[in-house]
A and B are shown apart, each in its own frame.
Chain A
Amino acid sequence: MKTLNLSPLKKLEIIMEGVHKDFATDLLDRSGVKGYTIVGNLSGKGSHGIYDGHVMFNEDDVLIMIIVAVPEELVPPILEGFAPFFEKHTGVVFVTDIQVSRLVKFKN
């Protein structure tokens, strides 16, 4: 049985309103991340009120979460990049430690 090589990375979970999805993904692309996952139609509660995940004809006013795994050195620039945005908008960023097995998928 081969031993699995696990490498440490940081995971960012960015929760924001769906209407800003393109901005967030563009910013992540420019910071050099190799990929991300988007989870849509979340519901939740924030300082602006309760978000119901199911709105039939309107895609902009729901919450989404973008999950991206990045090497540690990218975390401060990305947080710095999002700082002006989150000053004016609802949402949060969670930073956690994770480990991944295929480092090549996440790092150059």
Chain B
Amino acid sequence: MDNKLTLGDRLNVRSMIYVASEPIPRFWPMRTFIHHNPLFGLEHLSFEAAIEEANTLFHGRGYLSRSQYQEYRLAGKVDDAKLEKYLDDFLSALPGVLPGVALRKWFWSLLTVCQSEQVVPKTDWLNGQLLHDVLHGQSTTMNRDTQRLQLGVILAHKIAQDDPVYANIDRLFGTDIGQTLDELLIKSCLDFFDEGQSAWQAPGRDQGFFAAWKEVAQHNVRFFLRGLQLRQLLESEETPEGMVAHILKRLKVPEESWQRYITRQLTRLHGWAGFIRYRSSARHYYWAKQFPADLTDFLAVRMVLGMALLQEAVRHHGCPANAEAVQAFVHADPLGAYLRLELHTGSILPAWAHRVEDVLARRHRPSFEKLAHAYMDNKSRWEGERQASHLRRLAATMGGDAEAELMAMTPAQLDEFMEVVRSWEKGEGFVWLRSMETHYIKALINRVNIPKASAPPVDKRPFAQAMLCIDVRSEPMRRHLEAVGDYETFGIGGFFGVPISFLGYGKGTEVHLCPAIQTPKNLILEIPAALELEEEPLYSALEHVLHDLKGSVLSPFVAVEAVGLIFSIGLIGKTVAPLTYHQLHDRLHADKPVTRLLLDKLSHDQADSILRAVQRAMIVRALIKEWDIPRDQVTDDDVRQLREIALENAQGPSDLARRRHISDQDETAFIQKLRDIYRVERHEMSLQMERLGRIGFSVDEQVRYISQSLLLVGLNRNFSRFVLIVAHESQTQNNPYESALDCGACGGGKGLPNARVFAAMANKPEVRRRLRDLGIVIPEDSWFIPAVHNTTTDAVELMDIDLLPARHLLYLERLRNGLSAASRRSAAERMPTLGGPGRLAEEPYAAAMMARRQAHDWSQVRPEWGLTRNVYAIVGQRELTEGLDLESRAFLHSYDYRLDPKGRLLETILSSPMVVGEWINLEHYFSVVDTEHYGSGSKAYHNVAGRFAVMTGNQSDLRTGLPTQTVLKDGKPYHEPVRLIVLVEAPLSFVQKAVGNLVKIKALVGGAWVRVIIMDPEDAYRAYVLDDGAFRLQERSELSMSRPLMEDIA
């Protein structure tokens, strides 16, 4: 019955919801957790502006507290010169002048020694006159008229017209609508979006979120108990957008404000909204296809519930029912409204709370005005006293004339002073941030090795070369590997430039192994090398049964005594002796079979014969299942005939049917089943052929990808005997965030398939022949080996060894030894930071043991630090960073600009791996700066929701971001929040041109979402830093080498 709403209106509402939802970051299901910028939707603004906007939308803070920055300053991590410069810039831009006040001294003390978080907090009433009176111990009464005007301003601000109506009602009447609404909405979402976690599923989910919810809501006892009457409301509109428009009209929200109103509603539960946003646009997401839902549905459900709760509040408390009525209520009785506001938002002076509550509860109110005026006088006085004490305390720490200066200021000067301090404090976080970054920028520029221009390229062949992911955890491994032997390492995005969609052996769905901004076009299958039918070992079959048992409703009554004890073995084993338990467990389970990857394109004939084989197998299975005819009683011809009939190439009846005297009807039914259920059908066949066509890469494609990746890292000559392609993955137990520790460049997956594909392609003679034509000569005895770096245990395991040519086996021992030595040394470096004793730094074997234990311990909330403490992204040759201990804080991407005349490779690096790095960096930044709003709080309180996310406690918004255990240590930030500092080794104009070609990257760099340093090899490696919109030369200095530059906090 959308008779009031035209099609145009409905589309308009949908469009508004889409635009309103854009600031909300998408939330990927945790199985494929991807680090992303929480302010991704605001990247069109500059960094500073985006933080402010996000503050309004999500109430999240964008910078650390002043005291934390002061600690960093004392530890030497802040560049004082820069701090002073920003202060001077600010002071010189001030319009007015305060004579007799040493402003610089005041502000410098504010920065460096002030202990209050905010020296000039927000106030309702405070002005210079009042402050003056308090400072001089005089009493004041406010002029009633000014008070009334100010009251109007306060009320207009705090009870704004485009705030949600229920929020204003909560503020005025102390009802709990906001919280109740969130709870009911979350519960409805949990019911609908569940992905198999609960044993009982909600009904009717395939009709869409709003439709299914509507059905259930009318019979929902919980709603009924709360007194919500939804039936009438739900019957008024059919479509969700119609419902949204209908309710907005009923609430009398002016149409110009609809967009903002909708944004406020959506950002309230931005975890859920972000998830639904992701889900509605994810084309391959199984659950989204089964049970569709989008933000319009979500908003409609929210608004219906909100309306119902509002109506209930109106019935009980007699409060206004729409936006206009709220404003009228406030204007009719501003004093009452103010007192209500103070009481119910908790900002009332505690001594008055009881009195005010009493007075408001009575119907008629004698002496109410007197009380209100007395309260306002008291409140203003209290604000004055608080401000005075802050300023006096600051003056006391400053010493000298500060106190006298304060007392000498006139009221007008005090007003100006407070204004100046207020505007400074607003931008102070950004000043600290930039000063801290300057310190890190200078540190890097001073430490980087300058390659000697005169040195000729070395032609000695390294023992082995390795390509590792740019991930910060590869940095220690590369450093140690280069130190233990003659190894040369390179950095490249963990998907090695080959985006694939991977279908693992035994899995039902494809995984996209490439950066999240891309969709792979090629499918790679994993096939077991020994093509025998696997027999499930008894143990895993048992396990299957047992775990199914856990989900049944009746099992607690039946199984506990009998079966419970078996589970306890696991429980005790995993807790007391995790390593031993897992070794035994692995032994009892079947080994993963040796597999090969199908990576060549199938020819049409090959695809056809595969399809034929599959169809034949299907028909055989159908015969067994439907007609009970075993395989040995059916000839190949029979099968072929049935196939032809099903594909409409021939007519029945078939010989088989005739032999067995099966009626025509039965046979037709069987053929129909073949078509519908077993998919032996014409149209299906062409679809399947198309899908099979996705498999693999053509030789052209293979050559293109390999050559691009090799040129990207600058490896086009002097190949060694072994070229390791090292992917990385993590290994943890009981960790909903385990994908966060895997490879971000592979979309949160494990990069091993990419490594295997790359190695297989690079080893092919055909590909090598073509590469030679392109100028990349790979000698015959070079062999590419895929490997996997387990970042939790630091072990590097070589894969596909069975494909190794015999000659190389002679050197395998040396390679393995080198790798394990590097692993142990890496572990020794890392374990002390994870709580291991300091002596482990000297005991590699013990450290490696501890690392292995971390990977198996299910109670471990911090198995590894992951990407915490990342600061730098260095794009250039290894010579720049060779031998430098970057403490696992840098993304290292190899790049040689001389191989990239057109700048296309640099564009590739900037538009893909650098974006991934930026996302990772900002995810960590915001999670540490505001652990409650942008981070996900403590892991200890997390509960998995519906198998795709975590909530805090029993029910809450979906938690986005990283948990405190990842970014804090002992309650203090362990990750130092600075923006990613990208160093590019290439000529200045070259880089500027490349950036200019990429609209998005230009916006990122211009908006200062990353910091950029360019070291120009053609200009004696001078360093140019992008600062405040322009490139400025930064000189190297040797002086600062005397102080240790990068210290541990621990």
Contact = CB atoms under 8 A, between A and B. Distances in A.
B182 to A, nearest CB: 26
A92 B18 CA distance: 18
Contact of A49 (B7, B15, B1002): B1002
B252 to A, nearest CB: 20
A2 interface: no
B997 A52 contact: yes
B16 A58 contact: no
Contacts of A56: 904, 907-908, 911-912
Given A55-B911, A81-B14, A82-B15, A49 B999 contact: yes
A58 B14 contact: no
A9 B619 CA distance: 49
B259 A84 contact: yes
Q: Which of B11, B14, B281, B912 has the most CB of A within 10 A?
A: B11
B146 interface: no
A85 interface: yes
Contacts of A55: 907, 911, 998
Contacts of A89: 19
Nearest to B913: A57
A52 B12 CA distance: 31
Interface string B415-456: 000000000000000000000000000000000000000000
Contacts of A78: 8, 11
Nearest to A88: B19
B999 A48 contact: yes
Contacts of B12: 80-81, 83-84
A51 B996 CA distance: 10
A89 B22 CA distance: 11
Interface string B485-520: 000000000000001000000000000001101110
Interface string A28-50: 00111000000000000000111
A23 B11 CA distance: 11
B243 to A, nearest CB: 15
B766 interface: no
Given A55-B911, A84-B259, A60 B517 contact: yes
Contacts of A88: 19, 22
Given A55-B907, A56-B907, A84 B517 contact: no
Residue from A27, A52, A57 having most chain B Cβ neighbours under 10 A: A57
Interface in B1-54: 6-12, 14-16, 18-19, 22
Contact of B11 (A31, A50, A52, A58): A31
Nearest to B281: A22
Interface string A48-71: 111110011111110000000000
B912 A23 contact: no
A52 B998 contact: yes
Interface in B493-550: 499, 514-515, 517-519
Scoring B12, B16, B911, B915 by chain A CB atoms within 10 A of each residue's CB, the highest score goes to B12
Nearest to A21: B281
Interface string B996-1034: 011110100000000000000000000000000000000
Contacts of A87: 19
Contacts, number: 88
B517 A58 contact: yes
Contacts of A80: 8-9, 11-12
Contacts of B1002: 49
Contact of A30 (B11, B283, B517, B1000): B11
Contact of A84 (B7, B16, B283, B904): B16
Given A50-B999, A76-B8, A77-B8, A84 B15 contact: yes
Nearest to B258: A84
B1002 to A, nearest CB: 7
Interface string A9-32: 000000000000011000100111
Interface in B452-502: 499
B14 A30 contact: yes
B908 A23 contact: no
Interface in B250-299: 259, 281, 283
B8 A85 contact: no
Nearest to B15: A84
Nearest to A51: B999
Given A27-B14, A85-B15, A85-B18, A57 B9 contact: no
Given A85-B19, A88-B19, A59 B11 contact: no
B999 A77 contact: no
A77 B19 contact: no
Contacts of A82: 11, 15
A13 B908 CA distance: 30
A57 B912 contact: yes
Given A27-B11, A27-B15, A80-B8, A61 B998 contact: yes
Contacts of A32: 7
Contacts of B499: 57
Given A31-B11, A81-B12, 12 more contacts: A50-B997, A56-B907, A57-B514, A58-B518, A58-B915, A59-B519, A60-B517, A80-B12, A81-B8, A84-B18, A85-B15, A88-B22
29 contacts: A23-B18, A27-B11, A27-B14, A27-B15, A31-B11, A32-B7, A48-B999, A52-B997, A52-B998, A56-B904, A56-B912, A57-B499, A57-B912, A60-B517, A74-B7, A78-B11, A80-B9, A81-B8, A81-B10, A81-B14, A83-B12, A83-B15, A84-B15, A84-B16, A85-B15, A85-B18, A88-B19, A88-B22, A89-B19
Listed from nearest, the 7 A-B pairs whose CB atoms lie closest are A81-B11, A77-B8, A80-B8, A57-B912, A61-B1000, A77-B7, A84-B15
